[in-house]
């Protein structure tokens, strides 16, 4: 009972202690959540030294951030070696492009190649090479008023006509029909 009587008499003192604890908590909380923290100077820099001469944004020399990293700047000795290697390659060797030559030859044989793939609402057409031919990927619309068989018949008429419109001789090419999953 003595403690309860003491607390009743010291209401003001308890209130002040409680208010002080709230203020300390708020000060601590606001300092932690502050987005603007002051940037401390790096202990590596000499007093008054300009940090803009260092390559990293933090103003630190490269060695202090990553002492075992190799610098990204090519030393002058290596630069000379690579320049000499480029000069040794002949112009014919440099301009030789077997992939480009193969594509150029394919376009001479089949100038319609650049028209594929064709993407339509109910189907797509891909040319998969001489061994395979054309693949027509049919997309059946379940909300269509046409039945599945009618949609397939319509695609089998439209797609070859589309291929012929690009100048393809269908007697020399195979056509495969498949469905989307």
Q: What does the pLDDT look like over 29-79, one tens digit per residue?
A: 787 765 555 444 444 555 555 555 555 444 445 455 555 555 555 556 655
What single string gives the DSSP state of each residue in 147-170?
A: -HHHHHHHHHHHHHHHHHHTT--T
Q: Which residue has the tokens 């439209």?
A: 158
> Which pLDDT value is given to residue 94?
58
- pLDDT of the residue at 36: 52
Q: Is the pTM of this model over 0.85?
A: no
Report the mean per-residue pLDDT for the chain.
76
Query: Ranked by mean pLDDT, which of 40-44, 73-77, 93-97, 103-107 comes out on top?
Result: 103-107
Terminal alpha carbon distance of the chain: 82
- 122 exposed, middle or buried (CB, 10 Å; 0-12, 13-18, 19+)? middle
What would you report as the CA-atom Rg of the chain, rounded to the nearest whole angstrom? 39
Contact 174, 166 (CB under 8 A): no
């Amino acid at each position: 009972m003595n403690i309860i009587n003491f607390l009743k008499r010291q209401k003001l003192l308890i209130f002040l202690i409680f208010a002080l604890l709230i203020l300390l908590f708020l000060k601590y909380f606001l300092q932690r959540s502050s987005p603007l923290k002051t940037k401390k100077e790096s202990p590596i820099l000499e007093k008054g030294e300009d940090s803009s001469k260092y390559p990293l944004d933090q103003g630190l020399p490269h060695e202090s951030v990553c002492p075992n990293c190799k610098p990204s700047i090519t030393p002058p000795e290596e630069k000379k070696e690579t320049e000499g290697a480029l000069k040794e390659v002949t112009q014919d060797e440099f301009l030789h492009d077997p992939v480009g030559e193969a594509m150029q030859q394919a376009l001479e044989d089949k100038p319609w190649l650049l028209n594929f793939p064709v993407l339509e609402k109910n189907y797509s057409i891909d040319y998969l090479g001489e061994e395979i031919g054309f693949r027509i990927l049919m997309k059946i619309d379940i909300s269509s008023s046409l039945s599945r068989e009618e949609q397939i018949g319509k695609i089998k008429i439209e797609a070859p006509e589309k291929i012929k419109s690009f100048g393809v001789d269908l007697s020399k090419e195979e056509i495969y029909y498949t469905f989307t999953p």
